[in-house]
A and B are shown apart, each in its own frame.
Chain A
C-alpha cells in the first residue's frame, strides 16, 4: 500500500470514529427529549373554546385526513387519535384532547418524522392552523 492510500485510509477511520463517538447508547432514546418539557408542551398545545370533546376529536381526525394522514387509532374516552402519513417519508402523530377548565378543550399534538421527534414549533403551528380552519368549518357545518 503506498503512502497516500494509507493516509486516506487512516483519515477514513478517524472520520468514522468521530461520527460514531457522538452516538450514545441507543437505550438513552427511551427518555430522550431535546427540548424542555414546558417548551414542548407550549409548542404542541392549543386551547379551544368548546366543551364538546367528541366534536373536537372528530375535527382532529378530519384535519389529519386533510393533511394526508391515515388514522391508526382513536379512543373517545382517553381523547386520543393517532395517525400516520406516508409520502416517501413517515410522519406519525398523536393528538390528545382533554377538558381545560369549564368551557375549553386543550388539544395537544406530538409527532415524529422518520426516526426523529419533531421539536420545531413550525410544523405544530401549521397543524393548528389547519385545525382552526376545520373546527370553524365544523362549527358552522360547511362542506
Chain B
C-alpha cells in the first residue's frame, strides 16, 4: 500500500507542476489599491528647493554613503537606480536548519537565506503650485537567495522606520551638499 501511495505521488507531481505554471497575474498587480496613497506618503518627502540637480546629487551621495552602487541615472527624468549585494543570513533560520537536520537527518531540505540584492530607486519631481519644490520618492525591494542559490524571497521593503531614517539622512545629505561637504 505504501508503494501505491508513493507512486500516486509521482503520478500527481507532473500535474501539479503544470497547474502551478498556469497561475495568472494577481488581479491587483497593476491597479491602485487602499495602500497606494499610504505607500506614496511613506516613500515621499518634499524639499524646499527648485534645484532638482542638487537634490539628485545629494541623493546619489547618500546612496553611496549607504553602500549602494549606482546602476543607472537619468537626470533629465530625475531618476537614480542603485543596488547592493549583501549577506542575508539570519541566526534564527540557520539554527532552525541545523535543528531540522539533527532531527530528521535530511540536510537537503533545510534551507536558510544566504545572500540578498537590495535595490533602491529614487525619482524626483517638481511639486507645489509652480513646481517650486522638489518631491523625492524612494522605493526599496530585495531578492533573497538561499544556500542552494534558489530565490527564497521577492519582496518590496515597506518598513516605515526604514523610510524615516532614509529621509533623515537625505536631509543631512542635502545640507552637506549645500555646504560643499
Contact = CB atoms under 8 A, between A and B. Distances in A.
Residue of A4, A70, A113 with highest tally of chain B CB at under 10 A: A70
Interface in A115-130: 118, 120, 123-124, 126-127, 129-130
B155 interface: yes
B102 interface: no
Interface residues of B, number: 48
A97 to B, nearest CB: 11
A130 B140 contact: no
B129 A61 contact: no
A9 interface: yes
Contacts of A88: 154-155
Nearest to B40: A66
Interface string A120-143: 100110110110010000000101
Given A67-B30, A70-B140, A141-B129, A8 B154 contact: no
Residue of B25, B30, B141 with highest tally of chain A CB at under 10 A: B30
A54 B76 CA distance: 8
Contacts of B3: 1-2, 5
Interface in B10-26: 10-11, 14-15, 17-18, 24-26
Contacts of B30: 67, 91, 111, 123-124, 126-127, 130
A13 to B, nearest CB: 9
A68 B18 CA distance: 29
A8 B11 contact: yes
A12 interface: yes
Contact of B15 (A15, A20, A62): A15
Nearest to B5: A8
Contacts of B123: 61-62, 65, 71
Contact of B79 (A74, A86, A111, A127): A74
Contact of A71 (B29, B76, B79): B79
Contacts of B7: 5, 8-9, 12
A34 B11 CA distance: 30
Given A62-B125, A86-B143, A141-B131, A15 B25 contact: no
